[in-house]
């Protein structure tokens, strides 16, 4: 048994970081903190799933999830998903090919956040990102230096690229669904 010296949890201020209620619609500073490439339910496409963290303000550390059709049997759905990824890249200042979804991580950007529509399958309200915005408000932003990757990760990507026939697909697509 450990003596807690009269600790009173009623004296600790409430914190909404554990809340699953959506944050109010508005413009927030976010960063990507996790990503995964998974198959769609039909098995005929790939979704880029992203977890975003609110970087500042009263809702700091709250999470917002998004998913983007990277490959899809419906050309319009694929175009929309790839445009969303392109807009995120523009918001963080990433130009050129996107080799790994980790390249999206840890770079702050602004986003318009809304409360999405509920469905019978998903009746609870949730936040959605309606627009990715560069932190400078829209002017093109560039990273000051490219992100350096440790040699083992680079070797793994090169091996994955070689295993898929030289890499007509971006390296981050070569990960197994659910693998990190």
Residue 146: inside a domain: no
Residue 1: inside a domain: no
Q: What is the pLDDT of residue 16?
A: 56
Q: What is the pLDDT of residue 12?
A: 80
pLDDT digits (tens, 9 = 90+) for 128-152: 999 999 988 654 434 433 333 344 4
Can you spell out the DSSP letters for 127-165?
EEEEEEE-TTSSS----SSPPPPPHHHHHHHHHHHHHTT
Report whether 84 contacts 6 (CB < 8 A).
Answer: no
Q: Is the pLDDT of residue 160 over 80?
A: no
Better pLDDT: 170 or 129: 129
DSSP 3-state of 33: strand
Q: What is the CATH number of the domain that holds 55?
A: 2.40.50
Q: What is the pLDDT of residue 3?
A: 87
Q: What is the pLDDT of residue 171?
A: 52
Residue 175: inside a domain: no
pLDDT digits (tens, 9 = 90+) for 70-107: 999 999 999 999 999 999 999 999 999 999 999 999 99
Q: What is the pLDDT of residue 59?
A: 96
Task: Spell out the long-range contacts of 70-79 with Cβ–Cβ below 8 A and sequence spacing 24 or more.
Answer: 70/37, 70/45, 70/46, 70/173, 71/45, 71/46, 72/40, 72/44, 72/45, 72/46, 73/42, 73/44, 73/45, 77/45, 78/45
Residue 108: inside a domain: yes
Q: Is the pLDDT of residue 21 over 80?
A: yes
Share of the chain above pLDDT 90, in %: 63
Residue 151: inside a domain: no
pLDDT digits (tens, 9 = 90+) for 100-126: 999 999 999 999 999 999 999 989 999
DSSP 3-state of 60: coil
Residues 56-70: what's their mean pLDDT?
A: 96
Structural domain count, the chain: 1
Residue 3: inside a domain: no
Residue 90: inside a domain: yes
Token pair in block for residue 124 = 């609870």
Residue carrying structure tokens 């915005």: 133
**178, burial (CB in 10 Å: exposed 0-12, middle 13-18, buried 19+):** exposed
Q: What is the pLDDT of residue 166?
A: 46
Residue 29: inside a domain: yes
What is the span of the domain harbouring residue 45?
21-137
């Amino acid at each position: 048994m450990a003596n807690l010296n009269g600790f009173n949890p009623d004296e600790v201020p409430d914190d909404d970081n554990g809340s699953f209620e959506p944050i109010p619609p508005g413009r927030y500073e976010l960063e990507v903190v996790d990503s995964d490439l998974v198959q769609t339910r039909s098995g005929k496409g790939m979704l880029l799933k992203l977890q975003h963290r609110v970087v500042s303000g009263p809702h700091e550390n709250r999470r917002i999830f998004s998913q983007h059709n990277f490959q899809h049997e419906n050309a319009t759905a694929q175009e929309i998903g790839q445009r969303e990824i392109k807009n995120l890249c523009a918001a963080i200042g990433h130009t050129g090919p996107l080799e790994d979804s980790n390249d999206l991580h840890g770079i702050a950007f602004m986003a318009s956040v809304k409360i999405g529509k509920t469905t019978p399958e998903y009746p609870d309200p949730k936040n959605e990102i309606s627009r990715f915005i560069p932190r400078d408000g829209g002017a093109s932003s560039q990273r000051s230096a490219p992100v350096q990757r440790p040699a083992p990760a680079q070797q793994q990507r090169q091996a994955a690229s070689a295993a898929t026939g030289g890499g007509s697909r971006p390296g981050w697509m070569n990960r197994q669904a659910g693998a990190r």
